[in-house]
Amino acid sequence: MTRWNADWKNATSLYEQAAIAYRLARKHDKAKEAFEKASKGQEMLSSPWDAAKHMESAAALAKEVGNWNEVSDFYRRASELYIQCGRAQPASDALAKGARALEDALPDEAIQLYTDACAVLEDDGKEQMAFDLYRAATSVYVKLEKYTDAATFLLRWALAADKCNATHSQCKAYLSAIIVYLYAHDFQQAEKCYNDCCQVEAFLNSDQNRAATRLLSAYTDGDVEEIKRAAQSSIISSLDHTIIKLARKLPTGDVTAFKRGATEQQEDPLDEDDLT
């Protein structure tokens, strides 16, 4: 047993030296393979922290050679190893690195990695550390034109902000979700979202609520110019850049259907002679 451990120790050291040498020589595939084996060696030596570091190095090299599935697999494995060490922050960071690397090549997988990275921090009671991850995932959803998913993720961000008493971030996330629904030209869902958010006292008394009220009122008035003015407000201008860009393009369709009284006008007129 002693010799077995010593063999792993020597082998791991050689793999580490080989990985560094290959990386310096820009032989990315060989370096990646050596870091994988060095990671396995550190696992066998009961050193999950070093194993995770080597796995992250392998993931970075997988990115260099465009092996996107390995990028995801290696960063996920690194995250698992950090969790074995009881270290939530680096575990989340590893997933986030994978997500950033995959935003263009595999955007759906990037979103999943961002989501999992948020969950790692939430499970550790560190919701506030996940705010940048929520922001990044929302941006990818918007790029993919998955607006309902983007709004849902913003509402999840609001819930996380509530848990750590970040009221300002919570209210901004609520307003952002309403704007995303309006950009998708789903006024009914935007209004429902607004009504739900108004059940939260912090939002009810906020500047973000007033901005949302002004925007929705402009829609129900069918006033395109007022919608544009409302979207330029300082409150909306303080939101994340992705949301500001959406707000600046409002309205995205015909708003006459949302005008107060439009529904009644569309109904059939009453026939006074028809008593049935």
Give the pLDDT of residue 1.
36
Give the mean model confidence (pLDDT) for residues 255-265. Answer: 69
3-state DSSP of the chain: CHHHHHHHHHHHHHHHHHHHHHHHCCCHHHHHHHHHHHHHHHHHCCCHHHHHHHHHHHHHHHHHCCCHHHHHHHHHHHHHHHHHCCCHHHHHHHHHHHHHHHCCCCHHHHHHHHHHHHHHHHHCCCHHHHHHHHHHHHHHHHHCCCHHHHHHHHHHHHHHHHHCCCHHHHHHHHHHHHHHHHHCCCHHHHHHHHHHHCCCHHHHCCHHHHHHHHHHHHHHCCCHHHHHHHHCCHHHHCCCHHHHHHHHCCCCCCCHHHCCCHHHHHCCCCCCCCCC
How large is the average pLDDT for residues 88-96? 98
* pLDDT at 125 > cutoff 70: yes
Is it the case that residue 264 has pLDDT exceeding 90? no
* Sign of the dihedral defined by the CA atoms of residues 177, 181, 187, 193, in that order: negative
pLDDT at position 262, please?
A: 55
pLDDT digits (tens, 9 = 90+) for 168-203: 999 999 999 999 999 999 999 999 999 999 999 999
Q: Which fold has domain 24-124?
A: 1.25.40
Q: Is residue 41's pLDDT more than 70?
A: yes
Q: Determine the pLDDT at residue 259.
A: 80
Which of 224-233, 241-250, 260-269 shows the lowest per-residue confidence on average (mean pLDDT)?
260-269
- The confidence score (pLDDT) of residue 44 equals 94
Residues 115-131, mean pLDDT to the nearest whole number: 97
Please report the pLDDT score of residue 77 as a whole number.
Answer: 98
pLDDT of residue 42: 96
Q: Are 232 and 214 in contact (CB under 8 A)?
A: no
Per-residue pLDDT at 98 exceeds 80 = yes
Q: Evaluate if residue 28 carries a pLDDT over 80.
A: yes
For residue 270, the model assigns a pLDDT of 47
- pLDDT for the residue numbered 6: 61
Checking if the pLDDT of 261 tops 80, the result is: no
- What is the residue extent of each domain of the chain? 24-124, 148-256
- Please provide the average confidence, as pLDDT, over all residues in the chain: 93
Read off the pLDDT band of 258 (50, 70, 90).
confident
Cβ-Cβ contacts under 8 Å for 226 (sequence gap 6 or more): 217, 218
pLDDT given at position 267: 47
d(CA 27, CA 150): 40
pLDDT at 4 over 60: no
Q: Give domain 148-256's CATH number out of 1.25.40.10, 1.10.150.530, 1.10.1740.10, 2.40.30.30.
A: 1.25.40.10
Residue 75 has pLDDT above 70, yes or no: yes
Question: What does the pLDDT look like over 139-167, one tens digit per residue?
Answer: 999 999 999 999 999 999 999 999 999 99
Q: Tell me, yes or no, if the two domains 24-124 and 148-256 fold the same way.
A: yes
Longest dimension (CA), the chain: 102
User: In which band, very low, low, confident or very high, does the pLDDT at 7 lie, cut at 50, 70 and 90?
Assistant: confident
Flag whether pLDDT at 2 surpasses 50: no
* pLDDT (0 to 100) of residue 272: 46
